[in-house]
Amino acid sequence: MQPIIIVGSGMAGYTLAREFRKLNAEQALVMICSDDAVNYAKPTLSNALVGKKAPEQIALGDAEKMSAQLNMQIIHHATVTSISADQHQLTYTKNGQVENLIYSKLILAVGANPIRLAISGDGADDIHVVNSLIDYREFRSKLDLKQDKRVVILGAGLIGCEFANDLQNTGHQATVIDLAPQPLGRLLPEHVAHAFQQNLEETGIQFALSTTVDRVSKNSDESYTVTLANGQSFTADVVLSAIGLQPNTSVAQEAGIHTSRGIVTNTLMETNKTDIYALGDCAEVNGLLLPYVMPIMQQARALAKTLSGENTQVHYPAMPVAVKTPAAPLTVLPVPQGVEATWETEELDDGMIAKALDQESTLRGFVLLGPTAAKQRLTLTKLVPDLIPAAV
């Protein structure tokens, strides 16, 4: 039988391989990836400084170790150039050589790439992104040259705020810039976002909101001047962009696979092409694009069963997201797109509980700010309807 091929060595690809091996130890597995195939937990990157974890301590296993552990061939530093769905054939290049592989099943776990703003100035090319352990090594090498670095972060979303908190707690000065008028603009109602911002500001984090970066210029002392559209400017030793991710869909599109915001799948993680599946940050499942850990775990477990011969639809229960900002402990269950909700808020001594209720007074989302509120996570989660119900 031809191998099952997984394209991508991120959390989605490795979790699927691990879950599949629990069910089937013999079926040939091949992983193809463009990086070094080092296995690591990506969420670790945004709080590794506080955890005193050097980049080399974040890695859980290199390609050789993972290949042995999962009884899987790993072809790293290779680029998939085309997929012939009708032929069940994949073409990739490695070291300038073009190779073809026949697959029985193909899984696209190709992740997402950082969105880059069009920024002028001779320092624009020095802006860091951290979307992988390789990126993180480069960021840390710049950061570790001396303490007390001034770091300007583009983006006040989940990752930007987590990095700001991590940097501020380890002796650096973080400034966060965002076009939105509040941090975590897509996740929090205004009043909670204001309290969250205040908590972070109390640690020394600065925010410049409702504006964007216009120019990044190099200075003679190896620092940068970051000039904003509103005329403000900041001096930075390091500039980090964390403005969001764009699912990688190009190889799928060229193969005739349906894409929208991500690679479109049904609840079996199937694309419109026979024997081709998608999961992880690139996958738009039943219209839902959820680039978080818990959805990836749900996808991997379900797809592993399907690949083992037991067709299993993915189940999305309510899956709260913990934001790693110790200065303002936050748990968010976002309100589903298209749902109109009214917020009800309970103020606490050390935070607040905000509940989003729909027109039938059903709880559809919530925000828990502070350590006392966090204790309500399980109780409230049980009250929220599933995003994708379990198959009967």
Per-residue pLDDT tens over the stretch 28-46: 999 999 999 999 999 999 9
Q: Are 154 and 117 in contact (CB under 8 A)?
A: yes
User: Would you say the C-alpha torsion 380, 385, 387, 392 has a positive or negative sign?
Assistant: positive
**What's the whole-number mean pLDDT along residues 94-115?**
97
* The amino acid at 259: T
Q: Are 344 and 355 in contact (CB under 8 A)?
A: yes
Cross-strand partners of 363: 357
Vertex 277: Cα angle to 332 and 98 (nearest 5):
120
**Which class in CATH covers the domain with range 4-112+245-307?**
alpha beta
Q: What is the pLDDT of residue 99?
A: 97
Measuring CA to CA, how many Å separate 48 from each of 9, 53, 110, 196, 251? 21, 5, 24, 22, 32
* 116-241 classified as CATH 3.40.50.1370: no
Q: Are 54 and 62 in contact (CB under 8 A)?
A: no
Q: What is the pLDDT of residue 146?
A: 63
Q: What is the pLDDT of residue 272?
A: 98
Q: Do domains 4-112+245-307 and 116-241 have the same CATH topology?
A: yes
pLDDT tens, 331-389?
A: 999 999 889 999 999 999 999 999 999 999 999 999 999 999 999 999 999 999 999 99
What percentage of the chain reaches a pLDDT higher than 90?
Answer: 95
**How many residues are there in the chain?**
392
pLDDT of 392 over the 70 cut: no
* 329-381 classified as CATH 3.40.50.970: no
pLDDT tens, 253-272?
A: 999 999 999 999 999 999 99
Q: Are 145 and 241 in contact (CB under 8 A)?
A: no
End-to-end CA distance of the chain: 32
Question: What are the domain boundaries of the chain?
Answer: 4-112+245-307, 116-241, 329-381
pLDDT tens, 289-340?
A: 999 999 999 999 999 999 999 999 999 999 999 999 999 999 999 999 889 9
